[in-house]
Chain A
Amino acid sequence: MKKMNVRIQRFDPHQDEKPHYQTYLVEVNEGARVLHVLHAIHDEIDPTLSYRWCCGSGQCGSCAVRVNGEPVLACMEEARDGMTIEPLKLPVKKDLIVDLEPALEALSHLEPGDKPAMPSKEEVELIKPLRSCIECLACVSVCPAMDVTSFAGPTAMRQNLRLALDPRDSKDRVTDAVSKGLFTCTSCQACWKVCPKDIQLPGKAIEKLRSLANRKGLTLPRHQEVEKLVRETGRSVTRTEPTFMEQVGEVIEPYGPVKATVGFFVGCMYNQRLPQTALDAMEVLRRNGIRVIIPKEQVCCGSPLIRTGQWDYLDTLKRRNIDAFVFRNIDTVLTMCAGCGSTLKNDYRTPFRVLDINELLTKYGIEPPARLPLKATYHDPCHLMRGQGIRDLPRELITQVVDLVEMPAICCGSGGGVRSGVPEEAAALAEKRREEIEKTGADIVVSSCPFCEFHIMEHTDRPVKNITTLLLEGYREKDKKKAEKAV
């Protein structure tokens, strides 16, 4: 047996005006789950504690709660000393019990045709991964889009796709999905990361549904324009000034000895809209011994088309990009756009290694920059934190230059084609970002994704800087101090 302290959010609508926290010291056996801690409290200490559970083995989805802020199934998550247990972010009925019924009732159900044809083995294999959903609604509880716009939510989309793929169903689930907000998903992947069944909702459900919508001609006009632009120019955005690639040669040599050589996948945003940021990054790489090769025939990675379900032209883009690096025998490709990095890592099969710039810089180590007297907050790009699992590395770099104040990691609203397709939603999400930025009292906002940077810039009065620009400013400060000393 072992003892642990836990803190639990309590709320009784009959008595309390608002939720409060209560701390308990409980005794459980080795390997106990969160659910067993709740049982122990209920059975031994406080019978009034209310929580929902049924199967106790991860199959019914009744007991999802938040542990230290993260949604988990209480019956499967190992209990830890000092944990805080709260209800999912859904309407609370009592203590840890939330109202699941409205979202469950809103799910579409199969409506068989007159002579339903059984699905083939291939169709069964497609449907099965979507079918393992236990409807715990952890995904619904974390979806940022549902907070600001009319969106039926991740699992409703999963269910619509499951029905769309089933020949026994007689209804048009794709059009229905569009009307339920299919194009409001920002691809932030929060839903996937909390799914106890690891259902890849944005990639396997929402993007797939969007591709089916594309075949029905339901793609949003703004998204169609992006596709047209990619086909015509190889780029998903127009240029507003001389591009990054026009300003550099094919090889950028470092100032000192070469620690590593990488190919640089620039991405549309840094090439066409934010070339100065990419130039800043090159300067940081030069100071840190990284030799950079920039194949000029590279094109858009295809992410804007993948996220919006326009898949016809993808293979061409993929082949051109892969060839551009393979022809130069490049074994490591650098990305500094979180979206491109996530796409190359997850949607491509590349014969080379792909490294985000945060990985590259921490892998080879950087020359220490000078500290700047600023307080910064960091915005986690969804495609870096969730798409590539990179959370700590940017913080390691940032804290070498400035003090860091954390804020909750929430989508800024720019992804998934939402900025172009549903601008009012993108603005509403950015407004929530602005509020969080305000709360931190930070002087600057740092991020590591051109879409996030560009979008947040429009919604905050604080300067928004790429992580490499911040590093470069640290180096310039260092150079300045050195020069002053010399004088």
Chain B
Amino acid sequence: MRSAEVLDCHVLVVGSGGAGVRAAIEASGYGETVLVSKTLTGKGGCTTMAEGGYNAVLREQDSCEIHFEDTMKGGAYLNDPDLVRILVDEAPKRIDDLLQWGAVFDVTDCCEVAQRPFGGQRFPRTCYAGDRTGHEMMATLVERLAGTDVDVMNEVCALDLLKDGDRVLGAVGLTEKDELVAIRADSTVLATGGGTRIYDISTNSSSGTGDGFAIGYRAGAELIDMEMVQFHPTGAVYPYDARGRLITEAVRGEGGVLKNSLGERFMNRYDPERMELSTRDVVSRAIATEILEGRCTGHGGVYLDVTHLPRQQIEEKLPVMLEQFLKFGVDIREEPMEVAPTAHHMMGGHRITENGETTISGLYACGEVAGGVHGANRLGGNALADTQVFGKRAGEAAGKSGKKSGRIDQRAMDAQEARLSAFFDGEVVPSTVARSLRTAMWEGAGIFRTAKELEKTLGVINHLSSLRLKASGRSNLAECCILQNMLTTASLVVKGALIRKESRGAHVRKDVTQTWDPQTSPYGHSYQSLTQSGIETGVKA
């Protein structure tokens, strides 16, 4: 038996991306805070990979009202208006925090933070640090974190939440030494990011496995709009083993154009007004259609071309893209990139209040693991803002919440022990199951969906979930737990997609004909918890 270490703190934050670190910084002002990171803090998560930018209203000519409208329209009006209002109002304050703490964003000649145009927005309001914006933010946040008293536990995998009755009372984790650790906390913040690694082709880092959705769901929290998966229009197609790698929207923001194998700028058939800077759902479907209809490149994508831009602009504004493609043998100053859609972001997630409270007591959520902010389709540049705005709110609310009594239930710890031990007697290694899951999700729950395909996919997930996972050594225990989280997340996505019998934003049901547009849809959020699932109805005003 492993001996479980027990720690005690006021606020436990699970996740070390932009939202998690921001929450921990904020919470540390109110009491002892522990940050649990599956990776090395600052290196994991998807914030550090985010390239393009951070949306904030900073100029007189822009307004929060326009940012609000752009976000609602982009989200096919499925967003929670109250959350969107907070996002647009507070994004400028939160970027200001980052600037105070040392962030080095690109600036204009007048020393103002520079902004570039991004898809679906009527004003160029995307602030950036070249094409390594998220990395710049994480570097800043990690530096700030180092200046706090937060106790950072790196390379600890959160397995499940601990509960005292209906209330969350911390979490149990598996350390890098493969030992159980129980962390008792007055409040727990989930900031575990998204989960599109359940798809064969994904932009996500190794940590995008949906842990927070699954952990929260198992603890009884309600999740909304889990079917809303954003497929980013431009992922790499070569080398094959690195497929899905993000090609930032900033490429199009800087003037990059999309062309099919016939050399046609095909976006004029799909959105002649906004062209390449249409919303991501539209551009992804356009590219997918071109590919399905055979107008694709040798590697099965379409062309994304910046060769008409001045070389200096590419070198200064897209240095990471330039460097990455050079490594893969393509000089984007001389030849076009090849791209295809890639699973990128989960718009759905935990149902939260304005302060990040989930539907169960003592549990908060922020960042990509929370739902409602981005509706049915997220605007590029809104996720980084989301991490900061709601990371701060969740951290603050968790910090301000009162001390709570309650002890860790030994039976819960024993159950975790038993769960882990069982893996040593398992039959199938997780990587085999993961591969089957990813393929099934890409084929059956991708950009275009039908009830028939979704049912089939759910069948595959159920079958895979019934297999007994095998840990070949101690180091594989976390992997087994993570795979269970991926299966749960996938099942939530597919069930959500079956529940929502309409096409909206990123979710397209080819087998449903509808008479309404997003603004007049009779449906609200889809919701799923251990006890209930369904979709909110009632025609909106």
Contact = CB atoms under 8 A, between A and B. Distances in A.
Contacts of A62: 39-40, 43-44
Contacts of B154: 101
Contacts of A128: 104, 129-130
A61 B43 contact: yes
B435 interface: yes
Nearest to B39: A54
A25 interface: no
Contacts of B49: 55, 57, 59-60
Given A57-B246, A57-B324, A29 B473 contact: no
B475 interface: yes
Given A48-B476, A104-B40, A109-B147, A169 B327 contact: no
Contacts of B142: 109
B40 A131 contact: no
Interface residues of A, number: 56
Interface in B106-162: 106-109, 111, 129-130, 132, 135-136, 139-140, 142-144, 146-147, 154
A43 B435 contact: yes
B101 A112 contact: yes
Contacts of A127: 104
Given A47-B476, A101-B40, A169-B102, A57 B245 contact: yes
Contacts of B48: 54-55, 59-60
> Which of B40, B238, B476: most chain A Cβ within 10 A?
B40
A94 interface: yes
> Which of B45, B241, B431, B474: most chain A Cβ within 10 A?
B241
Interface string A95-126: 00000110011010111100010111100100
Contacts of B101: 110, 112
Interface stretch (A30-38, A462-470, A477-485): A30-38
Interface string A126-165: 0110011011000000000000000000000000000100
Nearest to B472: A47
A169 B206 CA distance: 34
B240 interface: yes
Given A54-B39, A128-B104, A135-B42, A28 B241 contact: yes
B328 interface: yes
A30 B239 contact: yes
Contact of B40 (A28, A100, A112): A100
Contact of A47 (B111, B140, B324, B473): B473
B315 interface: no
Contact of A109 (B107, B144, B240, B432): B144
A89 interface: no
B323 interface: yes
A48 B206 contact: no
Contacts of B130: 128
A330 interface: no
Contacts of B45: 54
Nearest to B176: A93
A112 B101 CA distance: 7
B147 A118 contact: no
Contacts of B405: none
A56 B205 contact: yes
Nearest to B432: A43
B99 interface: yes
A58 B205 CA distance: 11
B331 to A, nearest CB: 16
A48 B130 CA distance: 39
Given A76-B327, A118-B99, A31 B40 contact: no
A31 B239 contact: yes
Contacts of B147: 109, 111
A105 B408 CA distance: 31
A23 to B, nearest CB: 19
B429 interface: yes
B242 interface: yes
A311 interface: no
Contact of A110 (B102, B205, B240, B242): B102
Contacts of A14: 474
B100 interface: yes
A136 to B, nearest CB: 9
Nearest to B139: A131
> Which of A47, A127, A168: most chain B Cβ within 10 A?
A47
Contacts of B430: 47
A59 B431 contact: no
Contacts of B328: 31
B205 to A, nearest CB: 5
Given A54-B44, A57-B49, A59-B135, A42 B431 contact: yes
Interface in A1-48: 14, 28-33, 36, 39, 42-44, 46-48
Contacts of B144: 109-110
A50 interface: yes
A392 B108 CA distance: 46
Contacts of A48: 472-473, 475-476
A32 B327 CA distance: 12
A283 interface: no
A109 B143 contact: yes
A111 B432 CA distance: 48
B42 to A, nearest CB: 7
A32 B142 CA distance: 32
Interface in A155-196: 163, 166, 168-169
Given A29-B241, A33-B242, A62-B43, A166 B205 contact: no
Contact of B241 (A33, A131, A163): A33
> Which of A33, A55, A118, A131: most chain B Cβ within 10 A?
A55
A30 B240 contact: yes
A146 B429 CA distance: 42
> Which of B44, B136, B139, B474: most chain A Cβ within 10 A?
B139
Nearest to B110: A121
A50 B111 contact: no
Contacts of B240: 29-32
A1 to B, nearest CB: 9
A47 B429 contact: yes
Contacts of A29: 239-241
Given A31-B238, A56-B205, A121 B320 contact: no
Interface string A50-87: 10111111111110000000000001100000000000
B196 to A, nearest CB: 13
A56 B143 contact: no
Interface in A411-444: none
Contacts of A107: 146
B100 A116 contact: yes
B377 interface: no
Contact of B146 (A109, A119, A120): A109
A32 B239 contact: yes
A45 to B, nearest CB: 10
A112 B130 CA distance: 24
Nearest to B243: A29
A118 B111 contact: yes
Given A55-B48, A76-B327, A110 B476 contact: no
Interface of A: 14, 28-33, 36, 39, 42-44, 46-48, 50, 52-62, 75-76, 93-94, 100-101, 104-105, 107, 109-112, 116, 118-121, 124, 127-128, 131-132, 134-135, 163, 166, 168-169
Nearest first, the 7 closest Cβ-Cβ pairs linking A and B are A31-B239, A110-B102, A36-B241, A43-B431, A109-B143, A29-B240, A47-B472
25 contacts: A14-B474, A28-B241, A31-B329, A33-B242, A43-B429, A47-B429, A47-B473, A48-B476, A54-B44, A54-B48, A55-B43, A58-B324, A60-B43, A60-B48, A62-B43, A94-B475, A110-B102, A116-B100, A118-B99, A120-B107, A124-B104, A131-B104, A131-B129, A135-B43, A166-B102
Given A55-B48, A76-B324, 16 more contacts: A31-B242, A32-B239, A36-B241, A42-B431, A47-B479, A52-B39, A54-B44, A54-B207, A55-B43, A55-B205, A55-B206, A56-B205, A101-B40, A112-B100, A121-B107, A169-B102
